[in-house]
Amino acid sequence: MPHKANAAHRHHIPRSKRIVTNWAEYDAALRQRGSLTLWVSEEVIEQWKAAPCRTPGGQASYSDLAITTALMLRAVFRLALCQTEGLLASILHLLGVDLPVPVHSTIARRARTVMLPSAPRSSVGPIHLLVDSTGLKLYGPGEWLTEKHGTKRRRSWRALHLGMDADSGRIVAATLTERGVDDASQVAPLLDQVAEPVASLTGDGAYDRTGVYAAVHERHPAAAVVAPPRRDAVLSATAETAPTQRDRHIQMIAETGRITWQRTCGYNKRAGVESQMARWKGVLGEALRFHSDQVQATEVAIGVMLLNHMLGLGRPNSVRVA
């Protein structure tokens, strides 16, 4: 791994070979993701118009479900707002449905206040939460324009923090912060979004913080925290009489080695959330298209809904080849 830092000191483990055993079902699910009827269902058409408003103020013409559908189409097909308006108009025309189409300015305005449907429970029992973060660029000039003409300031970006259920693969929590925000500081906001009991929280070395252990134990006292301690980590003062979880991690690494510790504690499952980051950027792109913070939060929530919905269509059953 010549591109990795400290490559000479890393464990050189050959990549495991895996095969997918349900290619037919998974291939059908991939094709269905591009179906327009998937994103504009009968339920959406029936609830297209907003319910009568009984409070002071103007009457909305479109329901939250209609605006959510427009935002989902925009995200999954990577369209501009005007193109989204045109796509919706063409779909309703082809379906023979006499419904009004929200203009692009209405979609942008309603994106600030739209109420998204609540996510279903990801499992029936405690979940194993995988956490990680990645950077999303803010909408700006492309790489070619930057290289040719230069820019007066650096293109900025924001940090996306995700919490994923290790068993189902669903994203159960997400936060969006400014660049430079510590990953460990987002553990509490992520846990507050998880309705299910948490059996364990697994993250990389950035989550080896006292605040992470405290946030997890405050909300889920029996949950395990799996984060690799630093190479120069030391035991706490009470390690001999009342060792903490982190003390036990340090002791196990010293006795059996880091690779054995990873296998014993299930740390290798963390690769699943890294794959989720790659799916996000491959399906939704590497940049945020909206500009204000409030609408960017809606954009992230729409992205979570999209990826979970696509996952519900079908996922590959990958098994390791002995």
Please write the tens of the pLDDT for every residue from 46-60: 888 888 777 776 678
44 within a domain of the structure (yes/no): yes
For 249, residues 6+ apart whose C-beta sits below 8 A from its C-beta are: 226, 227, 228, 229, 261, 265
Question: Do 154 and 56 belong to one domain?
Answer: no
> Within a 10 A sphere around the Cβ of 202, how many other Cβ atoms?
25
Q: Are residues 88 and 155 in the same domain?
A: no
Domain contains 104: yes
Same-domain check for residues 99 and 182? no
% of the chain surpassing 70 pLDDT: 88
Q: H-type helices in the chain, by residue range? A: 23-32, 36-39, 42-46, 64-76, 81-95, 104-110, 143-149, 187-192, 210-219, 245-256, 258-265, 271-284, 293-313
Q: How confident is the model at residue 279 (pLDDT cuts 50, 70, 90)?
A: very high
Q: How does residue 144 score in pLDDT terms, banded at 50, 70 and 90?
A: low
185 and 91 in one domain?
no
CA distance 289 to 184: 26
Q: Does one domain contain both 105 and 142?
A: no
Residue numbers of the domain that contains 41 = 31-110
| 281 CB burial (10 A radius; 0-12, 13-18, 19+) | middle
- Rounded Cα–Cα distance for residues 269 and 15 (Å): 15
Residue 320 lies inside a defined structural domain of this protein: no
285 domain-assigned: yes
The reply to whether 53 and 168 lie within a common domain is: no
Looking at residue 228, the DSSP 8-state letter turns out to be P
> Can you tell me the distance from the alpha carbon of 199 to that of 179, in angstroms, rounded to the nearest whole number?
30
* CA 49 – CA 62 distance, rounded (Å): 5
Give the position of tokens 């369209």.
79
**pLDDT confidence band for 17 (50 / 70 / 90):** confident
81/169 same-domain check: no
Q: Which long-range contacts (CB under 8 A, 24 or more apart) does 241-246 make?
A: 244/213, 245/213, 246/208, 246/213
Averaged over 188-202, what is the pLDDT? 94
Ramachandran bin of 190, using left for φ above 0, alpha for ψ from -120 to 50, beta for the remaining angles: alpha
Residues 70 and 206 in one domain: no
Residue at 137 is within a domain: yes
Which residue, 110, 141, 163, sits at the end of a domain? 110
Query: Is 309 a member of any domain?
Result: no
Tell me how far apart the alpha carbons of residues 142 and 155 are, in angstroms, rounded to a whole number: 10
- Report the percent of the chain where pLDDT is more than 90: 48
More confident residue, 8 or 278: 278
> Which pLDDT score is estimated for 141?
59
**Same structural domain, 176 and 284:** yes
39 and 173 belong to one structural domain = no
Q: Is the pLDDT of residue 155 over 70?
A: no
Tell me whether residue 322 is in a domain. Answer: no
- 214 and 185 inside one domain: yes
pTM, entire model:
0.84
Q: Are residues 280 and 219 in the same domain?
A: yes
Is the model's pLDDT at 218 over the cut of 80? yes
Residue 68: half-sphere exposure toward Cβ, Cα within 13 Å: 24
Instruction: Please tell me whether residue 51 adopts helix, strand or coil conformation.
Output: coil
**Number of domains comprising the chain:** 2
* CATH code for position 281: 3.30.420
Residue 303 placed within a domain: no
Task: Give the residue among 111, 55, 15, 101 at the shortest CA–CA distance from 303.
Answer: 111
